[in-house]
Amino acid sequence: MREPTFWILTALATESRHGYALIQEADRLSDGRVKLQAGTLYAALDRLVDEGLVEPDRDEIVRGRARRYYRLTNEGATALDAEAARLQASVNAANGQLSARRFGLGQATAGLVIA
């Protein structure tokens, strides 16, 4: 899963959001690392809808402008959970290797994961 997709799904994990709110929430959650542009966001949302990970929730008119809200589907939550687990396993592996390096254990603990 690409990082922007991860942050879009993460931003939708707690509530439905419209496009601009998704851009803001992805920026906040990623500590500013992911800066979604509107065109990129809507192309990603179209793809995620096609994949069944996200679905339109509702449309609203605010100050004369249409807002479409999106929500995470159960399939999207499952995909996000799997990606979070994959990322956590990667972090655990890296932390284990770094701990081994710090303690000068090198190859003796190459497969050891220290939590």
Q: pLDDT (tens digit, 0 to 9) for every residue of the chain, 115 residues total?
A: 999 999 999 999 999 999 999 999 999 999 999 999 999 999 999 999 999 999 999 988 888 888 999 999 999 999 999 999 999 999 999 999 998 888 886 655 556 665 5
Tell me, what's the pLDDT at 102?
A: 85
> Would you call 9 exposed, middle or buried from its count of C-beta atoms within 10 A (0-12, 13-18, 19+)?
buried
- pTM, to two decimals: 0.83
pLDDT at 110: 55
CA distance 101 to 99: 5
In the chain, what are the domains? 3-104 (1.10.10.10)
Q: Identify each DSSP E strand in the chain by its residue range.
A: 17-18, 54-62, 65-72
> What is the pLDDT, as a whole number, of residue 55?
98
